[in-house]
Copies of this chain bind each other. A is one copy, B any other.
Amino acid sequence: LSETLEKALADALGPRAVTTEREAFAVNTRDWRGRYKGEARCMVQPTDTTSVSKAIRICAAHSAQVVPQGGNTGVCGGAIPDRTGKQVILNLARLNKVRSFDPIGNIATVEAGCILAEVRRRADEIDRIFPLDLGSEGSCQIGGNVASNAGGTGVLRYGNMRDLVLGLEVVLPDGRIWNGLRGLRKDNAGYDLKQLFIGSEGTLGVITAAAIKLFPKPRASATGFVALPSNQAALELFLRLRSVCGARLTAAELMSKRQLAAVCQHIDRAKSPIRTAAPWYLLAELNDTDPSADLRRMLESVLGKALEDGLVADGAVAASSREADAFWHLRHSVSEANVRSGRVVSHDTSVPIASVPQFIERAQSELSAAFRDDYALHFVGHMGDGNVHVVAIFPSTHNDSDLACAAATANTVVHDIAVSLGGSIAAEHGIGQSLRDQLLRYKDTVELDLMRGLKTWLDPAGMMNPGKVVLPNGGPRLT
């Protein structure tokens, strides 16, 4: 190796593909929330799969570690390099061609760097939807969505990103390209290799393109916002909606009273459509491909009966799509409202749906025992997925060290409860670097050994996004 890594990359990919000035890629070395800050040796931005392959081979030859990065919208530090300044950021933003949109197969084949919102817009143009629904849709990229098995508000009806992927193209840690970009609804020809890479957060290879499922566009919609006397009532209302509305039920989003109050306090044009104060709120949405479906009547009928039965304290059904947007505005503004409320420690837990009320009660009581009055507690989540985000808000006067201390306590409390109920510490955001050591606390030896074995098999040199998700065999273990 007579030449530097940077020169080899520039020679192979062209000088514009390699950025070596630190200021030019400073934004790529930290996450948008400012929680993780790393350094990098350089940033590579290939425009095609062959270039990704070349870049990986060159990095391997120089023993340089690679951090794949999409839209950098993650919250677990999964796309941020470490602090050594020796890692290479492999940014996929320019690998962003739409390869095909197939309205018959209902399949889009898109490169990793395609922006989610753009893919959704293109689907809309051909009268289809791509149902992955994330607050970050304007920045996040399909490759990152696949690598993190993204969730969001459409999971109840359409599944996680894993369920939306039919095929993948991946550059392996040895630089070879695996072409598994098949658009088939059924394929049992050997092991389903794409599953290895979905949700692996860039630690096993670089996803360069995906064949994803489109769906018929809904032609009718109804959105309701209801106040509930208890989270148990929220669960029961969800069960009724699921039973009657079936696949029409596309969202069932839970919010606690304090969460809604924070949104209304801090966010422009945020106003609860309900006057009745209640401890819990549920936003429910129905959709149907049949334009003549009377979904408002269906929703009102379920809600009316629930009102009679005392399950619902009050409710509003949107009279127009503008009103529905206003309801959703409340939900989509949660993260921003929380950041404005103080210093945020949030969790991404899931539990079996039946355990949601118990999970909430226990989190409430144990956090309040741990923190007394020195914090505010917000709950927001996806009722139908059992995915409740517990958000503890500490005073703005807390410094970083106070906050780190509070976060450690809150994590242990919340994660212990979730796992004791058969739940997960990472429902939809992933592990990244933030939860890697928590994984060691909650996974048993067999499962950790399998994860380490998988990492070691596919990436024996430990070159791909090291330090994220899990350390390979032989790596340090938590003591």
Q: List the interface of chain A (C-beta within 8 A of B).
A: 102, 104-107, 127, 148-149, 151, 155-156, 159-160, 162-163, 172, 176-180, 182-193, 195-196, 198-200, 215-216, 218, 235, 239, 242-248, 288-290, 298, 350-354, 382, 384-387, 422-431, 435, 439, 442-444, 446-447, 450-451, 453-455, 457-458, 469-470
Contact = CB atoms under 8 A, between A and B. Distances in A.
B198 A192 contact: yes
A185 B178 CA distance: 29
Contacts of A183: 352, 422
A245 B290 contact: yes
A185 B384 contact: yes
Contacts of A427: 184, 186-188
Given A104-B235, A172-B446, A189 B424 contact: yes
Contacts of A442: 189
A297 to B, nearest CB: 10
Nearest to A423: B184
A288 B435 CA distance: 41
B178 A446 contact: yes
Nearest to A382: B186
16 contacts: A127-B243, A155-B186, A163-B163, A179-B444, A179-B446, A180-B447, A183-B352, A186-B385, A186-B386, A188-B424, A189-B443, A193-B450, A215-B246, A218-B246, A244-B290, A246-B289
A239 B103 CA distance: 9
B195 A424 contact: no
Contacts of A387: 185-186
Nearest to A457: B457
A406 B180 CA distance: 31
